[in-house]
Amino acid sequence: MLNSVYELEKAALDIRKQLLSLCNKEVIHIGGDLSITDIMTVLWQYQMKYNPENTKDEKRDRFVLSKGHASAVTSFNQAAIGCFKAEDVIKEYATDQGRFSMHSCNLVNPFVEVSTGSLGHGLPIACGMAAALRLKGNTTSRVYTVMGDGEQSEGSIWEAVANAKRYQLGNLVAIVDYNGLEADGFLDEITGLGNIAEKYRTFGWNVKEFDGNDITVIKQNFDSLPPADSMIPTVFVCHTVKGKGVSFMENQMRWHAGKINDEQLEECIFHLDKAFERRWNKC
């Protein structure tokens, strides 16, 4: 696992380049993949207890991708910790015999805990997993779930939020990718959810609201999580930028999903590399 901010930022750079290489081959949900890249990199390559050689280890942490269309960024992070090769994701994606597609499926990929895609289901499932760990006497494992901001309008989300507090599931960590854009437009114009962080506070959750594209801050918030045997569930409300790192994709509804050509791929990777060099040459 990685430890330093430099290592994690370099890993996130590699994930973005892999995502863009896949986006050059297939249509993927590139905007949301890029917005959540930094959080997913820290989660999978620093935070989670997960052994690819023992996917049924009872002491492992569990992960549920409620935002099922972010399957590509999940798969590339799993590749980074040894579940398979990044080349496998690109080669097999959207093929009939492949393990990887627009939504994660545990029928073909043993590193997926739960098949997801229909929004609003992941948090209730994660609550069930967290409650099951408590019933089994497991006081060290956590359940992490990543949600989109648009799916916060699903009623099943708020039923799960209430129940997680009721059953004192402090081993549950929910992560909201709050980039402000749905497939059909800006969140505030479509669902008008208002202050999502305040809603979770009203339900009694431990709420951490921060920049979800700042790896230093992300790492600090994972480090400051209460113990897994605590009684209050935690939510990270992560303010992110849809299409983060690619100038022509950032905050653009057009890039909720799409495909790029060879010239765009070369341009994107060039600018990502330059931005990384500028940042670390200053340090």
- 97-130 residue pLDDT tens: 889 888 888 888 899 999 988 888 999 999 999 9
| Strand pairing report for 206-211 and 234-239 | parallel
Say whether pLDDT at 53 is over 80. Answer: yes
Q: What is the pLDDT of residue 120?
A: 86
- pLDDT-based confidence at 184, cuts 50/70/90? confident
Say whether pLDDT at 1 is over 90. Answer: no
- List, in sequence order, the alpha helices (H) in the chain: 5-23, 30-35, 37-42, 71-80, 86-92, 122-135, 155-166, 187-190, 196-202, 215-223, 262-281
Nearest to 272 by CA among 242, 251, 244, 252: 244
Q: What is the pLDDT of residue 193?
A: 83
147-168 pLDDT, tens digit each? 999 999 999 999 999 999 999 9
183 vs 132 pLDDT, higher one: 132
Nearest to 198 by CA among 153, 170, 167, 235: 235
Structure tokens of 32?
A: 């949301």
Say whether pLDDT at 283 is over 70. Answer: no
Exposed, middle or buried: residue 218 (CB in 10 Å: 0-12, 13-18, 19+)? buried
Domain limits, the chain: 5-67+115-281
Contact yes or no for 94/28 (Cβ under 8 A): no
Say whether pLDDT at 24 is over 70. Answer: yes
DSSP state of 68: G
Structure tokens of 116?
A: 């997801």
- pLDDT-based confidence at 188, cuts 50/70/90? confident
217-261 pLDDT, tens digit each? 999 999 999 999 999 999 999 999 999 999 999 999 889 999 999
Say whether pLDDT at 265 is over 80. Answer: yes
What is 5-67+115-281's CATH number? 3.40.50.970
- Note the pTM of the prediction, 2 decimals: 0.95
Provide mean pLDDT across the span 58-76. Answer: 95
Say whether pLDDT at 13 is over 90. Answer: yes
DSSP state of 225: P
